[in-house]
Amino acid sequence: MKIRFFSIMTALFVLLTFTSNSMSQDLQDDPQQDDFYDGVKVKPEKILPKDVYVLDIAFSPDGNHLAVVGDFGILLYDTRIVDKPIKIEENTGIVRSVAFSPDGKVIASALLHGTIRLLDSNTGELIQTINARTRKEDKKLLIIGVSCSPDGNTIISRHNGQVDKTIRLWDIDTGKLLRTLSGHTRRISGMAFCPESKIIASGSYDHTVHLWDADTGKLLHILSGHTRFVYSVAFSPDGRVIVSGSSDKTLRLWDVNTGYLLHSLTNEAIHSANSVAYSPDGGTIASYDGFVIFLWDVKTGKILRKFRERYRVTGGMKVVFSPDSRTIASLGYNEVNLWNVNPGRHLRTLISGNKNVPSLKVIESKSN
């Protein structure tokens, strides 16, 4: 009898897990998902029922605001005060990614169903719509990432790997396609613009990082060494070094000019490096594996501090520094948290689609 009961409970657990994963995938793949909510200013708990998906975050260049996006649209939080977010309304569909222009006046949002919308960050007014599905073969194209060039003239996008393994460059004023960067053999999972030069980095499931000339589209270097998926890439503030995070449990630092490997960072506590970020002051690298946010000292390669997060079940996963390097925003387990970098403490949870979840804490690293 006990054996039969155990078998039934095991089967039920497997069924529930499969159903949950299927619902998550269906929601992320549904390009027609509506995201409108009434009201200009709304409370997070009124906007987010339990089963929504938070998919990306981005700090404004002045650090005063944090954009949060998902299947509910775009919310803009003032990071200086505990207040209601501003709802940016000019979006329909699942917003998969978000980025600010360098001057902070424009918000670029990537809609899953193949369009990039440029919005006035102050008014929410639609400035430009870029349609990535201009060709017959782009019918099933999904945009899963967007970023803005340091000069504010170009938008780059990455896409679902089953259909497209390229990065596309778009003119921010005209919305026209400038060029396409082709070379990866599997899905592109991360990309970044170099802050000091016109170089684009892309990380891929093909285990490599590619460095591209943004003006010509020429492939400059292929950085090989990771043994599993490369999930995320980020440039140092001076543009001389790029860090890549991988599911092989390492962070690798590369020389941008030569393509040579400089350092490899790892620790037995790391499960993966799904998101990486360089602090604007150049002294610290943050990595996030779905369980813990690690802060690394760039000079020594040692872990300075660990922020205990909750395990990510749904939504996106990301960690970003504020422009003054004093605050970290993290996206995981379907919620967004703000952390003080030094001495290290949880400041507050901005938004959450979860209920009855365990508490967050900071773990000081004593021996790394």
Task: Identify the band that residue 154 occupies on the pLDDT scale cut at 50, 70 and 90.
Answer: very high
Residue 115 lies in a domain: yes
pLDDT over 80 at 232, yes or no: yes
pLDDT for the residue 265: 94
pLDDT in tens, 274-312: 999 999 999 999 999 888 899 999 999 999 999 876 655
pLDDT for the residue 298: 96
d(CA 2, CA 215) in angstroms, rounded, equals: 68
The H or E element containing residue 3 is helix 2-29
Task: Identify the band that residue 141 occupies on the pLDDT scale cut at 50, 70 and 90.
Answer: confident
pLDDT in tens, 351-361: 876 654 444 44
pLDDT in tens, 169-226: 999 999 999 999 999 999 999 999 999 889 999 999 999 999 999 999 999 999 999 9
pLDDT over 90 at 339, yes or no: yes
Task: Identify the band that residue 314 occupies on the pLDDT scale cut at 50, 70 and 90.
Answer: low
pLDDT for the residue 9: 41
Residue 78 lies in a domain: yes
pTM reported for the whole predicted model: 0.81
Q: Of 271, 278, 277, which Cα lies nearest the Cα of 292?
A: 271
Task: Identify the band that residue 245 occupies on the pLDDT scale cut at 50, 70 and 90.
Answer: very high
pLDDT-above-70 percentage for the chain: 78
Alpha-carbon distances, residue 150 vs 86, 227, 321, 365 (angstroms): 26, 31, 17, 35
pLDDT over 50 at 240, yes or no: yes
Round the CA-based radius of gyration of the chain to a whole number and report it.
20
pLDDT for the residue 51: 63
Asked whether the beta carbons of 143 and 128 are under 8 A apart, the reply is no
Task: Identify the band that residue 133 occupies on the pLDDT scale cut at 50, 70 and 90.
Answer: confident
Between residues 53 and 330, the one the model is more confident about: 330
pLDDT in tens, 65-93: 999 998 888 999 998 887 778 877 545 67
Residue 146 lies in a domain: no
> What single DSSP character describes residue 92?
-
Q: What's the number of domains the chain is made of? A: 1
Residue 42 lies in a domain: yes
Residue 76 lies in a domain: yes
Residue 52 lies in a domain: yes
The H or E element containing residue 14 is helix 2-29
Between residues 225 and 6, the one the model is more confident about: 225
pLDDT for the residue 354: 60
Residue 130 lies in a domain: yes
Per-chain mean pLDDT for the chain: 81
pLDDT over 70 at 166, yes or no: yes
Say what the alpha-carbon torsion angle 106, 110, 111, 116 is, to the nearest 10 degrees: 60
Domain boundaries, position 130: 34-141
Asked whether the beta carbons of 57 and 320 are under 8 A apart, the reply is yes
Please report, for the domain that includes residue 90, its CATH number. 2.130.10.10
